[in-house]
């Protein structure tokens, strides 16, 4: 009975339909887990876990990637990001990424009518509706939303292209490393693809 209650509390509530991405969308609350594949071979994991706390939705993202060749680690990436949302407003974020020993950090805090962004890349004041590229929140890619890369706290302005495919809404993010992100009809994040630093294809599959 206790387990059933936990499942109910973690149920999908208030998920925006993809045709309404341009409107204010509520965050999904089901935990997410992906396996990260490089050229079809598992090299890591990407998880997002949610909890409700004092009227806030908290999302914790963890990435763990390690590429080995001939028994040696040739690439290692870790990232830990904690977000706090009140409705559709980002209240705070802290993130730390480590790419082969090079550390990048980001901190964002709601401040008046904006969001104060501080990170390895510098400092900026963004509009109140700004959002991080942590991918789980479909409304972030609705268009017209200022976004920032949490790895170094850098504002970015990618170009977005949308297409429907097999019952999914796919959004191509053009600029930087680029990405192809997929959401289902409920707005849940279900797929991701990008290109590695060496040009190899990187894809996600649900764990």
pLDDT in tens, the chain (207 residues): 433 333 333 332 333 333 334 333 443 479 999 999 999 999 999 999 999 999 999 999 999 999 999 989 999 999 999 999 999 999 999 999 999 999 999 999 999 999 999 999 999 999 999 999 999 999 999 889 999 999 999 999 999 999 999 999 999 999 888 999 999 999 999 999 999 888 899 999 999
How far apart are alpha carbons 197 and 52 in whole angstroms? Answer: 36
Please answer whether residues 50 and 57 qualify as being in contact, where contact means their C-beta atoms are separated by less than 8 angstroms: yes
Residue 207, pLDDT score: 94
Residue 61, pLDDT score: 98
- Three-class SS state of 177: coil
Paired strand residues for 84: 58, 92
* Closest C-alpha to 205, from 188, 196, 192: 192
Residue 175, pLDDT score: 87
* Closest C-alpha to 80, from 90, 93, 66: 93
* Closest C-alpha to 82, from 100, 118, 104, 57: 57
Residue 84, pLDDT score: 98
Name 148's Cβ contacts closer than 8 Å, sequence gap at least 6.
Answer: 106, 108, 117, 124, 126, 130, 131, 132, 133, 154, 155, 156
Residue 29, pLDDT score: 77
Please answer whether residues 29 and 9 qualify as being in contact, where contact means their C-beta atoms are separated by less than 8 angstroms: no
Residue 100, pLDDT score: 96
Rg of the chain over all Cα atoms, to the nearest angstrom: 17
Question: For residue 2, with 0-12 CB atoms within 10 Å meaning exposed, 13-18 middle and 19 or more buried, which class applies?
Answer: exposed
**Cα separations (Å) of 162 from 171, 179, 194?**
5, 12, 16
């Amino acid at each position: 009975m206790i387990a059933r209650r936990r499942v109910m509390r973690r149920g999908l509530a208030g998920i925006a339909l993809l045709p309404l991405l341009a409107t204010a969308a509520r965050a999904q609350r089901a935990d997410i887990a992906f396996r990260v594949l490089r050229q079809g071979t598992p090299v890591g994991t990407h998880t997002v876990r949610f909890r409700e706390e004092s009227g806030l939705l908290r999302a914790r993202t963890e990435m763990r990637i390690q590429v080995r060749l001939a028994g040696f680690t040739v690439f290692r990436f870790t990232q830990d990001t904690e977000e706090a949302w009140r409705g559709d407003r980002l209240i705070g974020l802290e993130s730390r990424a480590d790419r082969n020993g090079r550390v990048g950090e980001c901190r964002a805090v709601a401040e008046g009518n904006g969001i104060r962004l501080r990170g390895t890349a510098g400092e900026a004041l963004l509009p109140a509706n700004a959002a991080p590229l942590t991918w789980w929140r479909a409304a972030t890619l609705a268009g017209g939303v200022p976004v920032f890369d949490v790895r170094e706290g850098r504002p970015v302005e990618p170009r977005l292209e949308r297409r429907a495919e097999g019952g999914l809404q796919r959004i191509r993010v053009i600029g930087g490393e680029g990405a192809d992100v997929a959401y289902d009809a409920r707005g849940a994040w279900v797929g991701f693809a990008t290109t590695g630093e060496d040009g190899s294809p990187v894809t996600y599959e649900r764990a």
